[in-house]
Amino acid sequence: MSRTVRQRPAAWAVIGLVLFTLTWELWVRLADVKPFITIEPSRIAGELADNPRFWLGQTWLTAWHTMVGVGVALALGVVVGAVLAAARPVEWAVQPVLVLVMVTPWVAYITSVVNWLGAGTPTILFMVSFVTFPPMVFAAVQGMRSADVAARELLASVDAGRREVFWRLRLPSALPSLFTALRFGTGLGLAAAYFSEGGSVASGVGLGEVGRRGTQNQGGGYPIVWGSIVCAAILGVLFLVGVNLLERRVLRWHSSQRAATS
Amino acid sequence: MTSPNGPGKATAGQGDITTQPIRSGRVSTGTDVRGISVSGAGKRFGTLEALTPVDLHVAPGEVVTLLGPSGCGKTTLLRMIAGLEPPTDGAITVDGDDPVAARSAKRFGFVPQSPALLPWRSVEANVRLLQEVNRAANPAALPDPLALLDAVGLTGFRSAMPHELSGGMQQRVALARAFALDAPYLLMDEPFAALDEITRADMRHLLAELCEPRNTAVVFVTHSIAEAVFLSDRVAVLSARPGRIVEVVDVDLPRPRTADLEDDPRFFTIETQLRRLLHEGSGR
């Protein structure tokens, strides 16, 4: 009882969420909001509680798409980033392409990808990886370039090999910026997964596809749509928490984590 | 400009924690000139002359300080000796070899201006860092990192992380790391410049203590006159840009060097002499 509620951020977070949900519920009930705009949180909760197995299954599919897609993007991003960090001309050549990929709305070309790779999982995974790849590369390049100059000289003074410098200095130096990119990337990847599931012309492939079916079903489709939205939102939060926990473990040495923990 | 008092150091005291094997495995392959030879080495960056060609010889086991104002090219000279930068004029050899070859053979213990500890590695892992890379060039018997940590006064800090240490302690780790290769040449680039005056004095006393039993040759870059006098067998005074060696001063003070030497009148005499040379060199 040494700390009052006043000083507990977690308690305040719960209060904020409860207030938000209550406002939502009251707004829908009192203002008689039409179901094609939104429905009461209590109805969404009822839908989720009625079919927990279904929702868990679909959420897991979307989670899997996001994790695999972002994981591949991260791995490739580090490899490509290492190459770009080592050779300026290559970086100059590749950077505009990556920016192009990053700014092009992926909604626009998903049909092409479906035609190319086929419906369902291949398209979804490609989209998630493709969309999250550029920020991973940029983070890797920037992080590896940020490696301490004195430490680089030190390793050069004993003629350490390129690979030794990469593992011992460049990659660890890039971890803070990679984690930042990962936090951003899981959000982006989740959005890409949800959207691509809906647009992948396959069924039973995750929340996005459930949501798309819901919008097409005129009658009882709204709880389904909103169920998929809420599940995706929870998933997004879980990803954030996961990345933050991992970061706290891996980057214990980094100043950003020391400020947060001590 | 050869050394009048080469490797004639006093024998090791009680501080001798690692008995060093004779470095017989490091016979030079080039011309047999032991030590570091700088002959007419200079550096130009485009039209800017950073260092006018200089001559200098550092005998094995000798401590030579490059003393000069900032921007005089003393760090450039050190980097050229370390094989990190090629001279644009003249040549440098280390035991008769090219500096780049000496670097590959891990013949240098380098101490940069900042401690440059890797923040994700423990103190002990930082001391081991240079042993872990380019392993092929490691000497047969590597010094024990824990013994080195004892020697620099960091017993019990092996698993501490760098951010938990003060600036002086971090630089102690950097010293232990430099000695961890048992390299015959220590190259130090203003290693104590960022420390406060008291810590700085402690560090130079510690460095002298560490070098004494190991018979390590040191090229020490500094702009601190006290550091130069206390540590050196000889001090090369550099002028302001473009840098050139104004004079090489012998420091005939007894070894081992201990802290009380700094109260000795002879210490002041040499300090005054160096200060005068520095002022002449900077044209003031």
Check whether B20 has a pLDDT greater than 60. no
Interchain CB distance below 8 Å, A157 and B114: no
User: Which residue in the set A157, A160, A258 is minimally distant from B163, CB to CB?
Assistant: A258
Q: ipTM of this model?
A: 0.84
Residue A201 binned pLDDT confidence (cut-offs 50, 70, 90): confident
Q: A161 at the B interface (CB within 8 A)? A: yes
Q: A167 at the B interface (CB within 8 A)? A: no
pLDDT attached to residue A216: 80
Residue B232 · residue B64 · CB < 8 Å: yes
In sequence order, the 6+-apart residues with CB closer than 8 A to the CB of B250 are B4, B5, B233, B234
Instruction: List CB contacts (< 8 A) between A175 and chain B.
Output: 120
User: How far off is chain B from A154, nearest CA to CA, in Å?
Assistant: 6
Residue B256 binned pLDDT confidence (cut-offs 50, 70, 90): confident
Interchain CB distance below 8 Å, A159 and B110: no
Q: A159 at the B interface (CB within 8 A)? A: yes
Residue B112 binned pLDDT confidence (cut-offs 50, 70, 90): very high
Check whether B187 has a pLDDT greater than 60. yes
Share of chain B above pLDDT 90, in %: 61
User: Which residue in the set B106, B108, B133 is minimally distant from A164, CB to CB?
Assistant: B133
Residue B209 · residue B148 · CB < 8 Å: no
Q: How far is CA A81 from the centre of its chain?
A: 20
In a domain, A46, yes or no: no
Residue A189 · residue A69 · CB < 8 Å: yes
User: How far off is chain A from B276, nearest CA to CA, in Å?
Assistant: 33
Q: What is the mean pLDDT of residues B132-156?
A: 92
Nearest CA in chain A to B161: A253
For residue A77, give its domain range. 61-261
Q: What is the CATH number of the domain that holds A95?
A: 1.10.3720.10
Helices then strands, each counted (H, E), chain B: 8, 9
Q: A259 at the B interface (CB within 8 A)? A: no
Q: What is the mean pLDDT of residues A174-202?
A: 93
Which residue type, as a one-letter code, is found at position B140? A
In a domain, A172, yes or no: yes
pLDDT attached to residue A5: 65
- Residue reference for tokens 């839908």: A47
pLDDT attached to residue B22: 41
In a domain, A43, yes or no: no
Residue B236 binned pLDDT confidence (cut-offs 50, 70, 90): very high
Residue A198 · residue A58 · CB < 8 Å: no
Give me the number of domains chain A comprises.
1
pLDDT attached to residue B73: 87
Q: Convert the pLDDT of each residue in A77-122 to its tens digit.
A: 999 999 998 888 999 999 999 999 989 988 889 989 999 998 889 9
Interchain CB distance below 8 Å, A168 and B118: yes
Between residues 94 and 113 of chain B, which touch chain A (CB distance below 8 Å)?
103-104, 106, 108, 110, 112-113
Instruction: List CB contacts (< 8 A) between B107 and chain A.
Output: none
Check whether B19 has a pLDDT greater than 50. no
Mean pLDDT of chain A: 90
User: Which residue in the set B129, B133, B161 is minimally distant from A161, CB to CB?
Assistant: B133
In a domain, A202, yes or no: yes
Q: For residue B242, is the peptide bond before it cis, meaning its omega torsion is within 30 degrees of 0? A: yes
Q: Which runs of consecutive H residues, i.e. helices, occur in B152-264?
A: 167-179, 197-214, 225-231
Residue A71 · residue A254 · CB < 8 Å: no
Nearest CA in chain A to B112: A150
Q: Residue A239 and residue A233: Cα distance in Å, rounded?
A: 10
B77 membership: H or E segment, kind and range? helix B74-81
Strand order across the B63-67 sheet: B108-111, B185-189, B217-222, B63-67, B234-238, B245-250
Interchain CB distance below 8 Å, A168 and B133: yes
Q: What is the CA radius of gyration of chain A?
A: 22
Q: Residue A26 and residue A209: Cα distance in Å, rounded?
A: 29
In a domain, A44, yes or no: no
pLDDT attached to residue A52: 94
Between residues 132 and 151 of chain A, which touch chain B (CB distance below 8 Å)?
148, 150-151
In a domain, A23, yes or no: no
Residue A220 binned pLDDT confidence (cut-offs 50, 70, 90): low
User: Which residue in the set A151, A159, A175 is minimally distant from B116, CB to CB?
Assistant: A151
Share of chain B above pLDDT 70, in %: 88
Instruction: List CB contacts (< 8 A) between A254 and chain B.
Output: 119-120
pLDDT attached to residue B5: 42
Residue B21 binned pLDDT confidence (cut-offs 50, 70, 90): very low
Lowest mean pLDDT among B24-38, B57-71, B126-140: B24-38
Check whether B88 has a pLDDT greater than 90. yes
Residue B174 binned pLDDT confidence (cut-offs 50, 70, 90): very high
pLDDT attached to residue B45: 87
Residue B226 · residue B70 · CB < 8 Å: no
Residue B25 binned pLDDT confidence (cut-offs 50, 70, 90): very low
Tell me the whole-structure pTM to 2 decimals: 0.81
Q: Residue A216 and residue A179: Cα distance in Å, rounded?
A: 38
Residue A34 CB burial class (10 angstroms; 0-12, 13-18, ≥19) = exposed
Check whether B17 has a pLDDT greater than 80. no
pLDDT attached to residue B124: 96
Q: Convert the pLDDT of each residue in B188-229 to its tens digit.
A: 999 998 889 889 999 999 998 888 888 889 999 998 999 999
Instruction: List CB contacts (< 8 A) between B129 and chain A.
Output: 154-155, 168
pLDDT attached to residue A246: 94
C-alpha angle A224-A225-A228 in degrees, rounded to nearest 5: 85
pLDDT attached to residue B262: 87
- Tell me the two tokens of residue A104: 């092009």
In a domain, A53, yes or no: no
pLDDT attached to residue A3: 59
Q: B260 at the A interface (CB within 8 A)? A: no
Instruction: List CB contacts (< 8 A) between B132 and chain A.
Output: 164, 168
In 3D, which of B97, B84, B107 has the Cα closest to residue B37?
B97
Lowest mean pLDDT among A32-46, B5-19, B234-248: B5-19
Instruction: List CB contacts (< 8 A) between B187 and chain A.
Output: 157
Q: Residue A260 and residue B270: Cα distance in Å, rounded?
A: 52
- Tell me the two tokens of residue A16: 């904020």
Largest CA distance in chain B: 52
Instruction: List CB contacts (< 8 A) between B104 and chain A.
Output: 159
Residue A244 binned pLDDT confidence (cut-offs 50, 70, 90): very high
Mutation to test the A interface, candidates B129, B132, B138, most A Cβ within 10 Å: B129
Share of chain A above pLDDT 90, in %: 73
Q: Residue A218 and residue A140: Cα distance in Å, rounded?
A: 46
Strand order across the B89-94 sheet: B48-58, B36-45, B89-94
Q: Which runs of consecutive H residues, i.e. helices, occur in chain A?
A: 9-30, 41-50, 52-86, 88-103, 110-117, 121-145, 149-156, 162-165, 171-199, 207-216, 221-250, 255-261
Interchain CB distance below 8 Å, A168 and B161: no
Mean pLDDT of chain B: 85
Interchain CB distance below 8 Å, A158 and B161: no
In a domain, A66, yes or no: yes
Lowest mean pLDDT among A209-218, B65-74, B271-280: A209-218
Residue A4 binned pLDDT confidence (cut-offs 50, 70, 90): low
